[in-house]
Amino acid sequence: MKVLVVGGGGREHALVWKIAASPKVSKVFCAPGNAGISEQATIVPIKANDLNGLLEFALKEKIDLTVVGPEDPLTRGIVDLFESKGLSIFGASRKAAEIEGSKAFAKEMMKKYRIPTAFYEIFDNQKEAEKYIRKQGAPIVVKADGLAAGKGVIVCKTVAEAIQSVRKIMAEKIFGEAGDRVVVEEYLVGEEASYIAFTDGKAILPLASSQDHKPIFDRDQGPNTGGMGAYSPAPVVTKEVHERIIEKILRPIIYGMEEEGRTYRGVLYAGLMIYDGHPKALEFNARFGDPETQPVLMRMKGDIIPILEACMKGTLSQHQVEWDKRASVSVVMASKGYPEDYEKGKVIRGLKDVSKMEGVFVFHAGTSLKDGEMVTNGGRVLGVTGLGEDIPKAIERTYQAVKKISWDGVHYRTDIGQKALCWL
């Protein structure tokens, strides 16, 4: 079968890598892809949000299955468009993807279906939001309602910082229309985890647990990013916590979406805060996490294609996934200045050396080829991902690989995976 993967980041490279390993797959295309992805797939120069261009290509090439990576095309309705033309596509429908497209909608769903989450209020008036913040005090969390590339959540330690965040989002429009409304919510304490599951609208098939690291600097300092690294499994997700996540968070939201006429098929990501063994939902995403997909898919055994097909056909209850008992750690190597302004076109050195290492794979996020050399072409450039017998060994192997790679202005966190060590 011929498969088209939509997107061009590290998550999409991991999906291409896993899909290409399927005995069912004869050819993989990726649009728009990146230089690293070109080693496993044929690159198609169509942007991920060019829905009509992607549709035209899929029809012309007789694509058997399209897999959507990023949230933007999902919220724009790529699944509805492809299905209207009889094409097979994995991902949430436009109405289902609103669970990510609007944080206000997600919070209202959590409230209605009694899913544990932070207390919150929704505002489309800047002055009212500021008044509420002064009344509530800090720490407090300010969120842009719409899509903001993973950067729309601002954890504010002071009232002044929270008010400034509201002004940046609503008045200065740093996230564009995504900031027309804001969600202001309670600051939760605990340990974060990412919980990703396949679903056909009824059955739930969880992926291995993982933990993302959002802030740009070590010890979770600095502004939030799209994610600076992840590891799997996340020891904070014990067997009891896992069962609570399924019963108190995932099952109610999938049931609720069905009740609202928004049947959810695809992959559902729950961002969680876990305190004293009890999970609360921070947010839902309508797609695979990035960078969590990289360490998780490194541990996934077997063929991913039958799972994707079962989600679309409603037969997911007939499937299971086996996981590598080893741990996996992924470290994001970024451009200097990210998540703000950064330069592109820096020559990347050391990739050939790392390609010889056992148990390590480098997923490309922001790379391109220039005059035969691999160069930086984004904020998050690479996701260096390694396997190890346990998390300490996986951390050691991954950072050995990271240290072999360099470019002018490279930046990465040096503490990815450290939170897991206190559980060992």
In tens, the pLDDT along 120-150 reads 999 999 999 999 999 999 999 999 999 987 7
For range 315-323, the mean pLDDT = 97
- Residue 11 pLDDT level (bands cut at 50, 70, 90): very high
CA distance 166 to 183: 10
Question: Which two tokens mark 121?
Answer: 């209020």
Residue 420 pLDDT level (bands cut at 50, 70, 90): very high
Question: Where does residue 20 fall: left (phi above 0), alpha (psi -120 to 50 degrees), or beta otherwise?
Answer: alpha
**Residue 73, preceding peptide bond in cis (omega within 30° of 0):** no
Q: CA distances (Å), 73 to each of 51, 77, 97, 212, 310, in order?
A: 7, 6, 10, 23, 22
pLDDT surpassing 90 at residue 100: yes
Confidence of residue 74 (pLDDT cuts 50, 70, 90): very high
pLDDT on residue 422: 86
Which pLDDT score is estimated for 150?
A: 74
Q: How confident is the model at residue 412 (pLDDT cuts 50, 70, 90)?
A: very high
What is the mean predicted confidence (pLDDT) over 12-16? 98
Segment 59-75 mean pLDDT: 98
Rounded CA-CA distance 377/368 in Å is 6
pLDDT tens-digit readout, 283-303 = 999 999 999 999 999 999 999
Given this model, what pLDDT does residue 148 score? 87
What integer pLDDT is reported at residue 149 of this predicted model?
78
User: What's the chain's average pLDDT?
Assistant: 97
Q: Three-state SS for 199?
A: strand
Q: Tokens for 22?
A: 């399927």
What's residue 224's pLDDT?
86
Residue 271 pLDDT exceeds 80: yes
Structural domains of the chain, with CATH: 2-93 (3.40.50.20), 125-180 (3.30.1490.20), 191-318 (3.30.470.20), 327-421 (3.90.600.10)
pLDDT tens, position by position, 79-93: 999 999 999 999 999
pLDDT in tens, 180-191: 999 999 999 999
User: At which residue do the structure tokens 């069962």 appear?
Assistant: 243
Could you tell me which of 229, 239, 173, 231 has the C-alpha nearest to residue 206?
239
Q: Please report, as a single letter, which amino acid is at residue 232.
A: S
pLDDT value at 353 more than 80: yes
pLDDT band, very low/low/confident/very high, at 424 (cuts 50, 70, 90) = confident
Burial class of residue 114 (count of CB atoms within 10 Å of its CB; 0-12, 13-18, 19+): exposed
